A and B are shown apart, each in its own frame.
Chain A
Amino acid sequence: DIQMTQSPSSLSASAGDRVTITCRASQTITTYLNWYQQKPGKAPKLLIHIASSLQGGVPPRFSGSGSGTEFTLTISSLQPEDFATYYCQQSYSTPWTFGQGTKVEIK
């Protein structure tokens, strides 16, 4: 199975900050990397797929990059509604696997 490792596991930031979350795969997944946002008590929401393709309706302050084994999710200017937990997920091969999550909290 492909292991996905996110860093950091949590971070504290202020509104307006630039935030970067890293996701590493245990083997190459080319660009089959997806990012989700989950708020407490809610279902996850797809933000980015195929490493850098922004899902419809997602604000452009979210961006994704990377290929192979290393990927990043960047929020260019954190907004109050962005405080949530973020997960990466590989869809290169089954079993599809998720990172452990990164909780973005208010500083």
Chain B
Amino acid sequence: DVQLVESGGGLVQPGGSLRLSCAASGFTFTSYEMNWVRQAPGKGLEWVSYVDGRGITIYYADSVKGRFTISRDNAKNSLSLQMNSLRSEDTGVYYCARGLVESDAFDIWGRGTMVTVSS
């Protein structure tokens, strides 16, 4: 089965750091672009970051640029999001999502991991 499983969420103080991971299985990881999408409690969806299959082309939302770093390890079929200088507005569920090359739509999603930034 095609599957994405996130981990690494938790409670962190403002200004702190957290590293999220996403383990992929059931598909050829290097053939797909990957994304992080987040959802604040009771709110809509917000795209956070993108990385292409080789890990060369990377994009960020302005709201996280300079604070978050996306990376992938194709040998381990894993995606990561290093989050520094966390703010209360970064609180939410973070989803790992696979991207379709032909449309950049997000066709496979993980179950998400909760990040809470609070003192």
A residues touching B (Cβ–Cβ < 8 Å)?
1, 32, 34, 36, 38, 42-46, 49-50, 53, 55, 87, 89, 91, 94-101
Question: With A and B bound together, what is the CA distance between A42 and B61 in angstroms?
Answer: 23
Additional pairs, 8, CB under 8 Å, beyond known A43-B109, A87-B45, A96-B104: A34-B106, A44-B45, A87-B44, A89-B47, A89-B105, A96-B47, A98-B45, A98-B46
In the assembled complex, the CB of B60 is this many whole angstroms from the nearest CB of chain A, namely 8
CA distance A99 to B46 in the complex (A): 9
Give the interface of B toward A (CB within 8 A): 35, 37, 44-47, 50, 59, 61-62, 95, 100, 102-107, 109-112
Contact residues in B for A91 (Cβ distance below 8 Å): 103-105
Whether A50 pairs with B95 at a CB distance below 8 angstroms is no
Complex CA–CA separation, A45 to B111 (angstroms): 11
Q: Which of B59, B62, B109, B112 contacts A45 (CB 8 A)?
A: B109
Closest to A87 in B: B45
CA distance A24 to B104 in the complex (A): 19
B100 touches A49 (CB 8 A): yes
Residues on B with beta carbons closer than 8 Å to the beta carbon of A95: 47, 59, 61-62
CB distance from A45 to the nearest CB of B (A): 7
Closest to B59 in A: A94
B44–A46 contact, CB under 8 A? no
* Neighbouring B residues of A98 by C-beta, 8 Å: 44-47
